[in-house]
Structure 1
Amino acid sequence: MFERLKIAAVVTALVATAAYAVFASTASPAANEPAALQNGAPAPDFTGIDTWINSPPLDLKQLRGKVVLVEFWTFDCINCAHTVPYMKAWYSRYRDRGLVVVGVHTPELPIERNTDNLKKAIARFGIEYPVAQDNSYATWNAYSNQYWPALYLIDKNGKLAYSHFGEGDYDQTEQTIRGLLGLDGKKG
């Protein structure tokens, strides 16, 4: 009996791994995509967005004159979950000073494609800033992005000013936000 359960568990794991490999090969961007964006390059607009949550649809032209922080994330990613408190704090601290935060939710797993699941995760995390659901990877590909989480800061003229991939460098990111907003001195 124990051997049958062990075999069933192995078979289940193999099937799940194979299914994920097939999904990942079709859902992820192609290996021959263009090089990552460089600082000073015009930032790509939000494109192919399925649903906007916490906001009407946004575009970078209407956000000119603001500093925009775009974060590529997905709700079942532990590294992304670790960045949420920083994103929320920056949104709270600087939104009245000209910062717009947009979470571009680009799914890694099939359950993350479901809008209801995304809305539940946004409520669970307490996210109030705009979230764009990028199930087709259109905005992800426009940025030539390859990472969860990935942060892109866009200056008031619509140009990429800073990017960071993965967790960490929160102080540097915040100092860059403050610099782009023209805020000197200590946080506050």
Structure 2
Amino acid sequence: MSIRYGLLALLEQGPRYGSQLRAEFESRTGSAWPLNIGQVYTTLGRLERDGLIVPEGGGDAKQQLYAITDSGRDELARWFTQPVDRTHPSRDELAIKLAMAVGTPGLDVAAIIQAQRRHTLAAMQDYTRLKARALAAGPGSSDDIAWLLVLEQLIFTAEAETRWLDHCESRLLRLAAARPPAAEPPAPGPASPATDRPKARGGTSS
């Protein structure tokens, strides 16, 4: 959905070609979420089907100029004014991975958490360096400001993920400590004299 409305927001500023939309979308978001050109044209086709944009002029699909319609502007205005729905969150691969790992025998869940934490911290350091570079360049265009906002969102998300991983590790350690030890099989008792003595063979002695 974000691609759909992102393209509408760019078209609201004036007609664009598909290749222009792709380049401007990536420029605005700092290529944090690179677009496949096929995604762009598929989304444009759906926007046109829904009456939110119209083609302008001639040319084939790859050289077609698109413009937003009044219905498209209304749809875009609703998107900007309505909060992003968090009651139906998108699937998170890391959360699913850990949820599956805790129920899979033989897996070292702590090692999975530690490996993910190292990766997330490294990514956060990369984002922080990019942010410092952006700030050192000083205030620039609206695209520069947009990229800075995206970078900060990525940093905050990585920080939150690191805290959640710490919480998961602590919870698993507490649960492991509270789990009662596995019952050991009872030790064999002393052998009964009647059963322990080997049976005599043959008849009685005279």
Fold agreement, TM-score > 0.5: no
TM-score w.r.t. length of structure 2: 0.23
Structure with a larger share of its residues in helix: 2
TM-score w.r.t. length of structure 1: 0.25
Greater RCO, 1 or 2 (C-alpha within 8 Å, sep 6+):
1
Structure with a larger share of its residues in strand: 1
Larger Rg: 2
